[in-house]
């Protein structure tokens, strides 16, 4: 099977979001003159994943998610009167500086962009994602960047992929491949829309869902064999 259109997630697929998250939280806590302990980071990380999954299920909206994670975190730390909106703004400032590529991402994008049409599909915050892609020098690889808040729908909704594929010239489903690390967002979205998918799973996490990716890889270099 030959794939022409490659739809990439950003976080923990092309850019190391966990590194950016830890760096951003560290910057925020340093600004507050508070220690960021491993336990606090672990609590925030788990909380953040849970809230994003609620967002994917349409149980909360993005503005609520962004503020609630900090009001919940600081309530947990015994500071219930903290300004969650202000904490989000400062965290976002530090997060936008995190653009460490995932292993082999630059060379894989360089190779694939020669003979394939590359796109970004992300649920992240538009301003932050655009800045991170720019500073990673990844922009030029992509024909278009699709961000949920600008598209007007979000992964894994069918409407998101309908709007994305409507802007892909000569789109053919059998020649389109979704690549991402999230079963609930990227792979579920692709499956629901009838697209093939690649689950990027470098840590070999077990698949405890009913979602079935077409392919599973643990390093980005394996993509080149799949899409050829």
**pLDDT for 1:** 62
Q: What is the pLDDT of residues 34-54, one digit of tens each?
A: 999 999 999 999 999 999 999
Integer Rg of the chain from CA: 18
Q: What is the pLDDT of residues 132-177, one digit of tens each?
A: 999 999 999 999 999 999 999 999 999 999 999 999 998 999 999 9
Question: CATH assignment of 5-15+101-227?
Answer: 3.40.50.1000
Distance in angstroms (rounded) separating the CA atoms of residues 215 and 221: 13
With cut-offs at 50, 70 and 90, classify the pLDDT of residue 101: very high
How much of the chain exceeds pLDDT 90, in percent? 94
Q: What is the pLDDT of residues 186-225, one digit of tens each?
A: 999 999 999 999 999 999 999 999 999 999 999 999 999 9
Question: CATH assignment of 17-95?
Answer: 1.10.150.240
Residue written as tokens 């099977």? 1
Domain ranges, ordered by start, for the chain: 5-15+101-227, 17-95
Distance in angstroms (rounded) separating the CA atoms of residues 36 and 143: 39
Distance in angstroms (rounded) separating the CA atoms of residues 208 and 211: 9
Residues 6+ away with beta carbon under 8 Å from 117: 4, 5, 6, 143, 168
33 is catalytic: no
Distance in angstroms (rounded) separating the CA atoms of residues 202 and 199: 9
């Amino acid at each position: 099977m030959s794939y022409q259109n490659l739809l990439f997630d950003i976080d923990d697929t092309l850019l190391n979001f966990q590194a950016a998250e830890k760096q951003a939280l560290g910057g925020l806590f340093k600004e507050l003159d508070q220690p960021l302990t491993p336990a606090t980071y672990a609590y925030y990380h788990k909380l953040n994943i849970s809230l994003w999954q609620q967002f994917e299920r349409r149980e909360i909206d993005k503005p609520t998610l962004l503020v609630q994670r900090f009001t919940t975190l600081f309530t947990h730390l015994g500071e219930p009167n903290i300004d969650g909106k202000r904490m989000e703004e400062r965290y976002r400032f530090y997060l936008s500086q995190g653009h460490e590529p995932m292993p082999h991402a630059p060379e894989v994008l360089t190779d694939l962009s020669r003979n394939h049409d590359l796109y970004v599909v992300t649920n992240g915050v538009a301003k932050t994602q655009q800045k991170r892609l720019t500073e990673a020098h990844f922009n030029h690889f992509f024909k278009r960047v699709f961000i949920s808040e600008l598209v007007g729908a979000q992964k894994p909704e069918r409407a998101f992929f309908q709007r994305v594929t409507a802007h892909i010239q000569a789109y053919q489903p059998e020649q389109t491949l979704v690549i991402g690390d999230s079963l609930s967002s990227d792979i579920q979205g692709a499956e629901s829309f009838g697209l093939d998918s690649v689950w990027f799973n470098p840590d070999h996490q077990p698949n405890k869902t009913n979602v079935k990716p077409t392919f599973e890889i643990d390093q980005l270099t394996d993509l080149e064999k799949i899409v050829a």
